[in-house]
Amino acid sequence: MTEQTAAADPVHAFIAQAVAEHDVVLFMKGTPDSPRCGFSSLAVQILDHVGAPFVGVDVLQDEALREGIKTFTDWPTIPQLYVKGEFVGGSDIVREMFQSGELQALMAEKGVALGEA
């Protein structure tokens, strides 16, 4: 995605800003305290378990955001996890990375301080 594309689309600009401003962002259905789908709940549980400080963005609050996040990454499903501006993947990828230790390694490599769950 180019800067020009983001500027032309306010939803993409919002997503780009959220990803730039926060080390770990989870675009999800619902909120971290009240996920509204099992996949979002799984991603929240994993992030909480590893102690990753993250911001949850509820895509159900805005249909344009719900569709825009899919076109931003060309990834068809929600949730979507970003670490230090890099798209990581959805709940299946996050689960696999967590189980193999790759998620924790990625967080450490990117300089995300993991706390205690």
CA distance 113 to 71: 30
User: Which amino acid would we find at residue 1?
Assistant: M
Token digits of residue 63: 């249909």
Per-residue pLDDT tens for 41-98?
999 999 999 999 999 999 999 999 999 999 999 999 999 999 999 999 999 999 999 9
Is 37 labelled a binding residue? yes
CA distance 51 to 85: 19
Token digits of residue 115: 């706390």
Per-residue pLDDT tens for 88-104?
999 999 999 999 999 99
Hey, what domains does the chain have and what are their CATH numbers? 10-110 (3.40.30.10)
pLDDT at 108: 94
Residue 76 half-sphere exposure toward CB, CA atoms < 13 A? 0
